[in-house]
């Protein structure tokens, strides 16, 4: 009986150590939209390439990572034609000039759309360039008021 008590005590200790930590609820993220635009307008054809730079201001001490996201409520109007995949370039961060993500902007009639493009260390100023990846296409939508390209932090 003494052996079974020791085995039971050891088993109870092992299970307690393997038990998951207390569950924490995820905090709502702080969301900031670009400071320099109200409309996303991208266009590209053999004669013209119209990219767009987006600038975000993040407060000092913001909890990271900072994530570049595309967020749209259900049924949000996005006009597009041709090839609509968008390359996202870092403008002023540690990977300046590099493609840091790709996204195809879309909204769903069934519910909200939320896509993380990439996550980065938070900086007070974060700038990205959006440019159509294909040879011919266009994308247009209103930016802000809870829709468009944003940076999230303090999640």
pLDDT tens-digit readout, 41-58 = 999 999 999 999 999 999
Give me the domains of the chain, ranges plus CATH numbers: 26-153 (2.60.120)
What's the pLDDT at 145?
A: 79
**Residue (of 97, 80, 100) closest to 88 by Cα position:** 100
Whether the pTM exceeds 0.85: the reply is no
pLDDT of 93 over the 60 cut: yes
pLDDT of 12 over the 60 cut: no
Per the CB < 8 A criterion, the answer to whether 142 and 148 are in contact is yes
pLDDT of 25 over the 80 cut: no
- The pLDDT tens digits of the residues spanning 125-146 come to 999 999 999 999 999 999 987 8
């Amino acid at each position: 009986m003494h052996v079974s008590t020791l085995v039971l005590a050891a088993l109870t200790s092992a299970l307690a150590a393997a038990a998951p930590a207390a569950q924490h609820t995820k905090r709502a993220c702080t969301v900031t939209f670009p400071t320099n635009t109200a409309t996303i307008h991208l266009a590209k054809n053999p004669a013209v390439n119209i990219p767009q730079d987006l600038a975000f201001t993040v407060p000092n001490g913001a909890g990271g990572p900072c994530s570049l996201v595309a967020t749209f409520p259900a049924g949000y109007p996005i006009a597009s034609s041709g090839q609509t995949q968008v390359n996202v370039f870092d403008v002023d961060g540690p990977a300046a000039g590099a493609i840091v993500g790709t996204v195809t902007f879309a909204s769903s009639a069934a519910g909200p759309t939320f896509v993380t493009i990439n996550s980065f260390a938070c900086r007070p100023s974060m700038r990205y360039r959006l440019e159509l990846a294909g040879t011919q296409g266009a994308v247009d939508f209103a930016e802000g008021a809870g829709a468009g390209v944003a940076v999230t932090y303090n999640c």
